[in-house]
Amino acid sequence: MTRQHWDIFCTVIDNYGDIGVTWRLARRLAHDCGQEVRLWVDDLASFARIAPGLDAELPQQTLADIDIRRWPQSGFPADIVPADLVVEAFGCRLPDSFEQAMAAKSSKPVWINLEYLSAENWTRGCHKLPSPHPRLPLAKHFFFPGFDAASGGLICEDGLIGAREAWQADAEAQRDYWRRRNVPALAENEWKVSLFSYENPAAAKLLQAWADGPQPVRCLVPEGKALTIVSGLFDHPLQVGEHAQLGRLTVDVLPMSDQDDYDRLLWSCDFNCVRGEDSLVRSQWAARPMLWHIYPQDDEAHLAKLLAFLDQYCQGLPDEAAAAVRELNLAWNRDGDMATAWRNCARWLPAWRRHAANWQQQLLQGGDLAQRLLQFVAEFSEIR
């Protein structure tokens, strides 16, 4: 594989999704694909929360063989020579001086706008389309991550599926993991759930349903926005490291972890509640049933995106199971009747688990996002 230079730009807008996806892509390109990556990030303090070893005070540093630079809000360095390939993650606006430097190169960089993940039909028509610059002799191409072969795919590192399968077969490794995370020993029949969401009032209803249900449930809650809602079930704000009991439900509050440790949390649970884009993708590789809290938008515009995902995700499930999974996801994102939706879904959990394992295998047909990016770059280079 030809070694090429990449510039990847990311602005941290909210939470950790944008930088989470961008950091995974940078590592995938550098480690698995033999590429040279320079990563520009405007908020190193947020970045450092998911990348231990990163010094938020250093404007330039190397971590995991990636050249990391602080993206200054003004006065972008004039001596920076653009790389062979330039990726602006999620439509972040490149500095004018950098665009001019791109245009000044005799061999123009391949310029890619890495879009947000979507299963909506319209993205297929826009995937890989060029957008000419209004003033400069440049064009950027839209690249849409997605769940089928017609899309840009999802990030999946070499060896990830094998590592997950080995982990899920290793009970001792999982026990060590829980001890390291300060989670008390789990009962033999205790059902393990991770809960990572935005401030979702439906979370309180779901946890109450578990508390009132017949099955002992251990809910692992990483510190974050969901903790405020979860704390409402108890008589005080929950803190990192705390354990709380309500009926058949036990809640353990976990500190924020790096990306690899979060993957292990997803792998170790029977069911995962995830949010945004990065954790949604990682839950697919966990091969477990999952519930997606999509980022809320005005006028419920996000629900079209949710339904498009469910249309693809539920293919292969029995009709009744698919209807129950849809009902649960819609109730979760609309603050609906979670107790009823959960009861309707619970009896389908064995079939859902089998489906989750088959689904993650389907996602990799045609390669992951990095492989499809490299294929697009190779095809584009041949025809220009």
Q: Assess contact for 8 and 38: CB atoms under 8 A.
A: yes
Task: Say yes or no: 146 and 183 in one domain.
Answer: no
Q: What is the pLDDT of residue 74?
A: 83
Q: By C-alpha distance, which of 14, 13, 59 is closest to 39?
A: 59
Task: Tell me which residues of the chain have a pLDDT lower than 50.
Answer: none
Task: Say yes or no: 149 and 50 in one domain.
Answer: yes
Across the beta sheet with 243-246, the strand order is 243-246, 249-254, 217-222, 191-195, 271-275, 290-293
Catalytic-residue membership of 157: no
Q: Assess contact for 370 and 25: CB atoms under 8 A.
A: yes
- Which residue out of 67, 88, 99, 277 is catalytically annotated? 277
pTM as predicted:
0.94
- Which residue out of 18, 99, 115, 278 is catalytically annotated? 18
Interval 225-259: pLDDT, tens = 899 999 999 989 999 999 999 999 999 999 989 99
Task: Say yes or no: 247 and 330 in one domain.
Answer: yes
Q: What is the pLDDT of residue 107?
A: 94
Interval 128-171: pLDDT, tens = 999 999 999 999 999 999 999 999 999 999 999 999 999 999 99
Task: Say yes or no: 190 and 311 in one domain.
Answer: yes
Catalytic-residue membership of 335: no
Task: Say yes or no: 377 and 317 in one domain.
Answer: no
- Whole-number Å distance between alpha carbons of 267 and 369: 21
Q: What is the pLDDT of residue 14?
A: 66
> In the structure encoding, which two tokens stand for residue 103, read together?
């245009």
Residue labelled with tokens 């946890």: 207
Task: Say yes or no: 82 and 177 in one domain.
Answer: no
Q: How many domains does the chain have?
A: 2
Task: Say yes or no: 335 and 371 in one domain.
Answer: no
- CATH number for position 214: 3.40.50.2000
Q: What is the pLDDT of residue 1?
A: 62
> In the structure encoding, which two tokens stand for residue 352, read together?
């859902």
Q: By C-alpha distance, which of 87, 102, 86, 89 is closest to 135?
A: 102
What are the Cα distances from residue 124, in Å, to 152, 222, 380?
9, 35, 18
Q: What is the pLDDT of residue 301?
A: 83
66-70 and 60-63 as β-strands: parallel, antiparallel, unpaired? Answer: antiparallel
Task: Say yes or no: 122 and 184 in one domain.
Answer: no
Q: What is the pLDDT of residue 201?
A: 95
Task: Say yes or no: 137 and 224 in one domain.
Answer: no
**Residue-level length of the chain:** 384
Q: What is the pLDDT of residue 186?
A: 87
Task: Say yes or no: 114 and 222 in one domain.
Answer: no
Query: In terms of residue numbers, what domain contains 352?
Result: 160-364
Show contacts of 302-310: CB within 8 Å, 24+ apart: 302/333, 303/330, 303/333, 303/334, 304/120, 305/118, 305/119, 305/120, 306/330, 306/333, 308/118, 308/119, 308/120, 308/121, 309/119, 309/147
Task: Say yes or no: 247 and 339 in one domain.
Answer: yes
Task: Say yes or no: 272 and 319 in one domain.
Answer: yes
